[in-house]
């Protein structure tokens, strides 16, 4: 059985079903159903408008000259930011975390990275040699990007300070080892003792 649009069907003493052109079922005496149908239709209309607006914006030929220039600048910045953070990650190795980005939406509806950061953990290390290795990795990661930011220089300076501290610990440890070895050698060598013997006749 087919139901034609805009047809009324009586299904009881107080209710009538009306099938509208958009194939929405409305029960005339049910205000909740009417409100739901109205909201559904409004949501559909808004979704269609949004879709049309997005379609317009995503079409490059429909952007103004200024909008096209802005899209080009944003695209260039996006590439620069992502390359910068990738350099930090590559140089940081196991110490580097995932990159996080700050985005801006362009007039074309796309999101472009305009800033970013890579977290780098700085474990202290259990030995001075480990500390030195970590400090050098951190400094290398901070300055790995083609044009380091002020924050990158600050991190590199902190890493250099860590490196200096680790080198001092290594030097001190080596000196103590040398001093301990020479003290041991001095203690184990026979010393010439001068004895005076009295010979009485």
| H or E element at residue 19 | strand 16-19
* Same structural domain, 36 and 86: no
Q: What is the DSSP string of 142-153?
A: HT-SSS--HHHH
Those residues whose C-beta lies under 8 Å from the C-beta of residue 162, and which sit 6 or more positions away, are 122, 131, 134, 135, 138
Predicted pLDDT of residue 168: 93
* Same structural domain, 49 and 100: no
Give domain status of residue 196, yes or no.
no
* Same structural domain, 21 and 33: yes
* Same structural domain, 157 and 176: yes
Give domain status of residue 188, yes or no.
no
Work out how many domains the chain is built from and give that number: 3
- For residues 79 and 73, the answer to whether their CB atoms sit within 8 Å is no
Give domain status of residue 100, yes or no.
yes
Backbone angles phi, psi at 20, to 5 degrees: -85, 175
* Same structural domain, 39 and 65: no
* Same structural domain, 129 and 140: yes
* Same structural domain, 115 and 139: no
Give domain status of residue 190, yes or no.
no
* Same structural domain, 83 and 108: yes
- For residues 111 and 121, the answer to whether their CB atoms sit within 8 Å is no
Nearest to 88 by CA among 146, 138, 133, 141: 141
Give domain status of residue 2, yes or no.
no
* CA atoms of 178 and 174, how far apart (whole Å): 6
Parent domain of 14: 7-58
Query: Tokens standing for 183?
Result: 């003290």
* Same structural domain, 65 and 54: no
Predicted pLDDT of residue 67: 93
Give domain status of residue 49, yes or no.
yes
Nearest to 169 by CA among 135, 134, 131, 140: 131
- Among residues 121, 136, 162, the one where a domain terminates is 121
End-to-end CA distance of the chain: 152
Predicted pLDDT of residue 3: 46
Q: How far is CA 132 from the centre of its chain?
A: 26
| H or E element at residue 128 | helix 128-142
**Could you give the strand order of the β-sheet that contains 7-10, starting from the edge strand earlier in sequence?**
7-10, 16-19, 25-27
- For residues 123 and 74, the answer to whether their CB atoms sit within 8 Å is no
Predicted pLDDT of residue 194: 41
Predicted pLDDT of residue 106: 93
Give domain status of residue 192, yes or no.
no
Give domain status of residue 191, yes or no.
no
pLDDT of the chain, 201 residues: tens digit per residue = 444 444 444 444 445 555 555 555 544 556 676 677 777 778 777 777 777 666 555 555 688 999 999 999 999 999 999 999 999 989 888 888 889 999 999 999 999 999 999 888 877 778 888 889 888 888 888 888 888 888 889 888 988 999 999 999 999 988 888 887 665 566 555 554 444 334 434
What residues form DSSP beta bridges with 105? Answer: 111
- For residues 56 and 62, the answer to whether their CB atoms sit within 8 Å is yes
């Amino acid at each position: 059985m087919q139901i034609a649009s805009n047809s009324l069907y009586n299904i009881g003493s107080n209710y009538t079903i009306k099938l509208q052109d958009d194939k929405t079922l409305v029960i005339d005496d049910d205000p909740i159903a009417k409100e739901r149908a109205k909201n559904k239709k409004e949501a559909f209309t808004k979704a269609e408008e949004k879709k049309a607006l997005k379609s317009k914006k995503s079409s490059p030929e429909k952007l103004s000259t200024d909008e096209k220039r802005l899209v080009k600048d944003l695209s260039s910045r996006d590439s620069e930011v992502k390359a910068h953070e990738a350099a930090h990650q590559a140089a940081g190795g196991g110490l580097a975390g995932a990159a996080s980005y700050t985005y801006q939406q362009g007039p074309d509806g796309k999101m472009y990275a305009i800033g970013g950061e890579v977290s780098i953990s700085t474990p202290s290390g259990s030995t001075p040699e480990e500390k030195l290795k970590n400090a050098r990795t951190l400094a290398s990661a901070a300055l790995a990007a083609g044009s380091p930011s002020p924050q990158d220089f600050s991190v590199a300076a902190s890493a250099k300070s860590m490196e200096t501290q680790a080198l001092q610990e290594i030097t001190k440890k080596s000196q103590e080892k040398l001093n301990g070895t020479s003290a041991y050698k001095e203690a184990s060598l026979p010393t010439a003792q001068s004895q005076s013997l009295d010979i009485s006749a």
